[in-house]
């Protein structure tokens, strides 16, 4: 069963990636969801349809929740959590920081995840208890413990959360510490780049489960730590995400602290 689940997951990620690669910097229709820059393209829909087709062929009774199609529930203990293109704005503008993200949970616990950037040809994969990989090679989070030397990444939601302080103020505190903070535009890639040590920490508000399900498992299997902004145990359905190498986690919590609900 585990082998078939893994094969289905990787096949779905690969095939959706081929759809993305085919249309990248090509012609496709673009429309808006909530907010003028919250885009969806016809490629999102085509990639999603390919993923769902592959999953349903092998596991027709499994639950699926996907960014564009919504929740396709069969009341199964298995749930596939899909983002056909994470980083749609990047994709629509020909920026090669975009990916397919597919996570699989069993009785609410993440057990497998794959994030595939077909433009950069990077496939991140993790299976619970078996570590994380990039293109088949083991990866681990960074060993940087000096917070002053950390390289961080964040993102901003299209709809700002109801917090005691605007998220820009939290961002400002990191900048005023003199820390390099990047914004790539894809939470799934942000998480994977923490997992492989390119970044030391990541935080963001108001993410959806399809943005983070696979990346969450990849970070934790790479030896990292993921919590909410209070340092509590994390669920991919939470609205606050802090992922680090574990060594700078408390310092990041301290800068974010007392400014979330």
Q: Which residues are part of the catalytic machinery?
A: 67, 83, 85-86, 88, 211
Task: Give CA–CA dist 231/241, Å, rounded.
Answer: 10
Task: Give CA–CA dist 183/251, Å, rounded.
Answer: 20
Strand ordering across the sheet containing 181-182: 181-182, 152-154, 201-205, 240-244, 225-227
Task: Give CA–CA dist 29/230, Å, rounded.
Answer: 41
Q: Maximum distance among all alpha carbons in the chain?
A: 52
Q: Residue 69: how many CB atoms within 10 A of its CB?
A: 15
Task: Give CA–CA dist 234/36, Å, rounded.
Answer: 31
Give the DSSP letter string of 40-109: EEHHHHHHHHHHHHHHHHH-TTSEEEETTTEEE----SEEEEEEEEESHHHHHTT-S--EEEEEEEETTE
DSSP state of 173: H
């Amino acid at each position: 069963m585990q082998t078939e689940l893994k094969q289905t997951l990787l096949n779905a990620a690969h095939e959706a990636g081929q759809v993305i690669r085919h249309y990248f910097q090509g012609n496709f229709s673009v429309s808006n969801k909530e907010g003028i820059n919250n885009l969806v393209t016809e490629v999102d829909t085509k990639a999603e349809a390919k993923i769902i087709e592959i999953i349903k062929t092998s596991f027709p009774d499994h639950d699926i929740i996907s960014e564009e199609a919504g929740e396709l529930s069969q009341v199964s203990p298995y749930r596939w959590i899909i983002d056909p293109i994470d980083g749609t704005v990047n994709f629509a503008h020909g920026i090669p920081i975009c990916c397919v993200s597919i996570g699989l949970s069993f009785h609410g616990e993440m057990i497998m995840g794959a994030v595939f950037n077909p433009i950069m040809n990077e496939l991140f994969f993790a299976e619970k208890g078996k570590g994380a990989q990039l293109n088949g090679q083991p990866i681990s989070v960074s060993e940087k413990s000096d917070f002053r030397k950390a390289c961080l990444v964040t993102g901003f939601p299209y709809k700002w959360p109801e917090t005691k302080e605007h998220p820009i103020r939290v961002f400002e505190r990191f900048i005023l510490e003199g820390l390099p903070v990047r914004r790539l535009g894809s939470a799934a890639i942000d998480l994977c780049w923490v997992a492989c040590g390119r970044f030391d920490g990541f935080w963001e508000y108001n993410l959806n489960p399809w943005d983070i399900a696979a990346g969450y498992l990849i970070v934790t299997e790479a030896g990292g730590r993921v919590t909410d902004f209070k340092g509590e145990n994390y669920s991919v359905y939470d609205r606050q995400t802090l992922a680090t190498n574990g060594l700078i986690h408390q310092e990041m919590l301290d800068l974010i602290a007392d400014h979330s609900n």
